[in-house]
Amino acid sequence: MNVLEIESRVEGQLRTYELAFDAGESVYEIADRYALKLPVSCRNGVCEICRAKLVSGEVEFGPRRELVQGPLQKDLLLCQTWPVNSSKITIDNIYGPGELPVKKTVCRVIAVEVIRGHVYKVELQLPAGKLPEFYAGQYLALEMPGKDAGSYFSIASAPGLREITLHIQADPHLNSAVEIVDYCKDALESGASVTISLPFGKACLPKVPDKPLILMAAGTGFAQMKSIIDYLLAQNYSLPLALYWGVRKEEDMYLAELAEEWASKYDHFEFHPLIADIENIDANAHHNQLSDAVLADFSNLADSKVFVSGSPKLVHSAMDALLEAGLEEQDFFSDVLEYAPRS
């Protein structure tokens, strides 16, 4: 099989991607299969933002697919390029799966509402112009005056919208969360802007997956899964999609009605609510309830992708159980693996 090698310099670092391809695939078709983000706009060779250089190999180039051999003294436009054999091209600022440049932007707070109990929905409206990019499942940082670091929240809405939704659990003893909700309320009343940075996180969907998905969420980890589900449903994803949502108390399942609505509307979607409903439940039992439920329903996980959102102990416990049951390690996704890896 032929290999397309793309060499790119991003923020001073040289990166190389090796992509196997079949005859007749364009550079953009190859990159899309690997969830590699190439610059794109017109796709017909006019804007020239996809200008690259052929280092080696042969490609067909232009509307008439003329054969060109490397190395070239002139540039190619990737939207007009079809590799013929193993080739190498160079182009700057190419981002791999889950990689997007982090950008800072200001927003208006347009809603702060209690969903249920102490869980709030905060809606932010992005400014006019080009929307900042993020993938379904990623998170952002909300900055507050006087604080050295931002507070991180999963994005609960799908990409490509002017409004961004957050779910914030602000129990009275969670002083930081209460402070953030109050800050957003003040901004809503005064019309002041708030500052966010995004995106963060590699447990996301750069493209529609070609495998069934199992989503496992604890508490407000549902926010990350909602972004993924909203995105997939908008893309007409039709493979099996199962959500397992675990909480300690019934009132903590703050959007159960929405999940039940998905299950009634879409035949390929399943919702499995898991409520411990015991105030002093053993911690290990609580951590294991999600993976136990999944393993009771699935005898074979080899053909699935799994996303998990919860505490580090819950995530690592789920990973151990699911890998032992046949899940491939590359098909297990959680942000915990990035910010709280096992020592």
Token pair in block for residue 303: 């053909």
Q: What is the dihedral of CA 274, 276, 281, 284, to 10 degrees?
A: -10
What is the CA 328 to chain-centroid distance, rounded? 19
Q: What is the pLDDT of residues 63-98, one digit of tens each?
A: 877 777 777 756 888 889 999 999 999 998 888 877
CA-closest candidate to residue 206, choices 306, 307, 134: 134
Q: What are phi and psi of 169, to 5 degrees?
A: -90, 110
Task: Identify the top-confidence range among 53-67, 88-102, 318-332.
Answer: 318-332
Length of the chain, please? Answer: 343
pLDDT (0 to 100) of residue 76: 86
pTM: 0.85
* Strand duo 2-10 + 13-21: pairing: antiparallel
pLDDT (0 to 100) of residue 103: 93
pLDDT (0 to 100) of residue 143: 96
Residue 264: pLDDT band (50, 70, 90) is very high
Strand ranges inside 191-275, DSSP E: 193-200, 213-218, 241-247, 269-275
Q: Where are the alpha helices (DSSP H) in 45-199?
A: 175-190
Angle at 317 between CA 152 and CA 258, to 5 degrees: 55
pLDDT of 243 above 90: yes
Can you tell me the distance from the alpha carbon of 75 to that of 141, in angstroms, rounded to the nearest whole number? 39
* Domains of the chain and any CATH numbers: 2-90 (3.10.20.30), 103-200 (2.40.30.10), 213-339 (3.40.50.80)
pLDDT of 301 above 90: yes
pLDDT (0 to 100) of residue 327: 96
- 273, 251 Cβ separation under 8 angstroms: no
pLDDT (0 to 100) of residue 279: 58
